[in-house]
Amino acid sequence: MTFKVKRAILILVCSEFLVCLGIGLVIPVMPFLKNEFHFSATDMGIMTSLFALAQFITSPIVGRLSDRLGRKPILIFGLLLYMFSEFLFAWGNSLTAFNISRIIGGLSAAMSIPPTMAMAADITTERQRAKVIGWISAAFSGALILGPGLGGILANIDYKAPFWIAGVLGFLSALAVIIFLPNDRELTHNLQKNTSLRKSPKQKNSKKTVLFSRAIMTLLILILVSSFGLQGFESIYSIYVNEVFNFSINNLALVLTLNGVISLILQVVFFERLVNWLQENILIRYCFLFSFLGTVWIILAHSKIEAIIATLIIFSAFDLLRPAITTFLTKVSPHNQGLINGLNMSLTSIGNVVGPIVSGTLLDLNHHYPYIVVATFLIVSLLLSFMLKKREQSSSPKSTLS
């Protein structure tokens, strides 16, 4: 791996971290924004879903544009668009303004996350790719873990302060990419190598093989079902604990910061060891099991302490689950990273659109209804995960199913 490639990877990881940190900053503010403007839980669910809907619709278009225009220009524009969306949210004072901001934010995510993953695939060999994508995923999830805790602290200054700070982080990310990220053409030696692999006779029908592989189809169904459950839980969490357990901003900041520390330790120190020890399929099962048990516990909890412990179990399981599924996908289909990552994001976006709307609507009816539905989806995901078999080093895609 050359110095330019290493520098490009470092910039991609750092830019993802800063943007996702900005996204996480605003999470603790949502229940207090709801109270300040007298929005319903349904309003808040729709607001959250608009982000994912815009991302889902525009991701395929952006993917084609990045192939034609290059990854770097699209990435820069996406980061600047993200900055604008956060500033608009901080400046706005109506539901319409907030919804427009979330739509623009979804567009910015579609223009920053897929090009980042695509460039990572372009400039790395197959052997390096899983590790590099793992670094980017760790930056993504780590920032989302730390962001809510920092957002709770900033919200004590002003409830819109996290949005202003998020916009500044978006600008700094764009600036770093403009100055330090090499142009696509400077990294074409790896791109040409990967392209030649994709065009080899052995891979002519790879797209069809991937789409109809039982292992890949099982994983994609699992992503769709689980993303609904995960987003259904996360999207209303701050509102739920505020209304059911009377959590304050300080309470949210404390529990999310504590969870951030635990989850980062799990991801950075223990994740690779867990994968080597259990294999991805077993780790995925345990994550679904503990997230299900934690969701049931938080429904039955009667105190803040119980809610905090259940939260730590659930979020820790979620934070191990995402990279476990991503790693499993990269190893099941090493020659189709662009297609698989695109399908992964599209199906995740569907869950991100539907989950918050359903959870927000159910929360208006009864506090416990959303998490009863989430628990149902998590147990279905757990059952589906038993279709995934231990990955063999030299196995074909078919051998990953029992």
Instruction: With CA atoms as reference, report the closest residue to 150 among 261, 303, 282.
Output: 261
The whole-number average pLDDT for the span 44-55 is 79
Each residue of 113-139: pLDDT tens digit? 777 877 877 777 756 665 676 677 777
Q: Tokens 């459950």 correspond to what residue?
A: 229
pLDDT of residue 36: 82
Determine the Cα–Cα distance for residues 19 and 270; give it in Å rounded to an integer: 25
The whole-number average pLDDT for the span 293-307 is 92
Topology at the third CATH level for domain 3-400 = Growth Hormone; Chain: A; (1.20.1250)
8 Å CB contact between 173 and 19: yes
| Other Cβ atoms within 10 Å of 121 Cβ, number | 19
Give me 71's structure tokens. Answer: 């990854």
Task: Compute the C-alpha angle 399/129/285, nearest 5°.
Answer: 45
Residue percentage of the chain with pLDDT more than 70: 82
Whether the predicted pLDDT of 395 surpasses 50: no
8 Å CB contact between 324 and 280: yes
pLDDT of residue 336: 55
pLDDT bucket at 77, cuts 50 / 70 / 90: very high
Determine the Cα–Cα distance for residues 12 and 241; give it in Å rounded to an integer: 35
Determine the Cα–Cα distance for residues 334 and 318; give it in Å rounded to an integer: 24
pLDDT of residue 400: 46
The DSSP bridge partners found for residue 401 are 388
Instruction: With CA atoms as reference, report the closest residue to 235 among 21, 51, 38.
Output: 51
pLDDT of residue 84: 94
In one-letter notation, the amino acid at residue 106 is G
First to last CA, the chain: 37
| Other Cβ atoms within 10 Å of 73 Cβ, number | 16
**Displacement of CA 111 from its chain's centroid (Å):** 15
pLDDT of residue 186: 67
Whether the predicted pLDDT of 208 surpasses 60: no
pLDDT of residue 365: 87
Each residue of 217-275: pLDDT tens digit? 778 788 887 788 777 887 788 888 888 888 887 888 788 778 777 877 787 778 777 87
Whether the predicted pLDDT of 209 surpasses 60: no
**Displacement of CA 70 from its chain's centroid (Å):** 23
Determine the Cα–Cα distance for residues 91 and 152; give it in Å rounded to an integer: 19
Give me 217's structure tokens. Answer: 């189809």
Each residue of 161-206: pLDDT tens digit? 888 888 888 898 899 889 888 876 766 554 454 444 444 444 444 4
pLDDT of residue 149: 73
Question: What residue segments make up the domains of the chain, in order of their start?
Answer: 3-400
| Other Cβ atoms within 10 Å of 189 Cβ, number | 12
Whether the predicted pLDDT of 312 surpasses 50: yes
Mean pLDDT, the chain, whole residue set:
78
The whole-number average pLDDT for the span 83-97 is 89
The DSSP call for residue 335 is: T
The whole-number average pLDDT for the span 80-97 is 90
Whether the predicted pLDDT of 81 surpasses 90: yes
Q: What's the Rg (C-alpha) of the chain?
A: 20
Instruction: With CA atoms as reference, report the closest residue to 218 among 373, 320, 322, 329.
Output: 329
Whether the predicted pLDDT of 401 surpasses 50: no
Determine the Cα–Cα distance for residues 59 and 298; give it in Å rounded to an integer: 35
Q: Assign residue 2 a region (left: φ > 0; alpha: ψ between -120 and 50; beta: otherwise).
A: beta
pLDDT bucket at 390, cuts 50 / 70 / 90: low
Give how far Cα 243 sits from Cα of 34, 72, 246, 291, 362, Å: 12, 44, 5, 22, 14
Helix spans in 301-368 (H) = 304-332, 337-365
**Which residues touch 224 (CB under 8 Å, ≥6 apart)?**
347, 350, 351
pLDDT bucket at 391, cuts 50 / 70 / 90: low
Helix spans in 70-213 (H) = 71-91, 95-122, 126-155, 161-180, 188-198, 206-212
What burial letters (b/e) apply to 336-367, b meaning 16+ CB within 10 Å?
bbbbbbbbbbbbbbbbbbbbbbbbbbbbeeeb
Residue percentage of the chain with pLDDT more than 90: 10
Determine the Cα–Cα distance for residues 164 and 269; give it in Å rounded to an integer: 33
pLDDT of residue 272: 74
**Which residues touch 165 (CB under 8 Å, ≥6 apart)?**
22, 25, 154
